[in-house]
Structure 1
């Protein structure tokens, strides 16, 4: 069986100003019903067609993925239907919850996770269009299949020419070209990808984005591990700097736990 084509939203560049990050939790009864699960998957597989149903889909890009538990359930259903015949049993990577090295207490900590069954990412230049798409997609899912109490939506926006809200350049070390992003993000044998969503709480009174003095900027540079004005890495990065925690903590450990049991 050939690998499915990957979703363009995974690697294509975008100048979108707004986005939504939509984690959908399904209720237990829906997950216990094989037909309901199949209809949910069908809705997700048609998400790009669904996006065209909004009043003005110009510039709207959408993507969808599954949480680990739900993905495993889908896989078992497809195996029973013989639709995965020809693929190896271990074609799904054994992803684990991410850990990072907490330098203060000197040991690895498992990052908290609220889980989720379906993850939808949409981006565009019109807040109203994103809001409309969110509801149109929701209404394609089987009736009462979603747990509204656990489902969460986070709305995103660009800030100061693609800086994060702390004032630092965001994504500066990411692969630059479409081909590089495709090579990094897309698994060649399945056409799929893995994503981690994180929500960071900022202490805005500490960050002081608006007109900070030089002393505050120097301190913030130490916290981040980069220079605020141009995004360049500091020569001497502190162990607990954001850059180190992401590179030497979450990212390296994630790469190990995701790939350690996979034979390509």
Structure 2
């Protein structure tokens, strides 16, 4: 299967390459994706330190955007103002909104932003990328499902909150960045897709209010919360194990994608 892209560029050797922008929220997710590539280098675009791995005629740009829709929007606008991509991928970990196992691959077909009252207009994912990703993942026999994603502006810590979103909005996956990133790509007419791995489930409550850690002085309050509730360490260990599984699967996803792109080409 071959995909024609609207953007290519010349690398210093004169070879035409296709650039794919892969946006991740945290350094743990970035590390998992980076591990899929044998070699990479650092480049700075829009003041953002990006990891760039080239395999064959494809450049994979791994771009840290921070946690939440505001960071995703700001980072995407800064990077896309200076660097062109054939496509933008939103990747990392996600909460499963339906039946799924830890580490299961979730591919988005569209995404909506939920503000707690109503869902915004959906951002579509490029069908050609949805199909290409599904093939890459299935070739490696990784568990996968595709469907709608939902983006929320804060961490949903209680199972009841997640379940309410699932009932109201439906979908297969929950995150904090994809819709914001998708809106920026929509403005610029760049193909967009979501591929994430499951790190927590719809019926699981998180051991702490992780929103504390997203505030400027939040780490102090977060540590204090751990000390005040030592039993939360059990939940944190469970989440650590689940995140490790999700990270291993995310590495496998990008190895599958890199191998397929190298074997078949993306353009």
Q: TM-score, normalised by structure 2?
A: 0.30
Larger radius of gyration: 1
Structure of greater relative contact order (alpha carbons < 8 Å, 6+ residues apart): 1
Higher strand fraction (1 or 2): 2
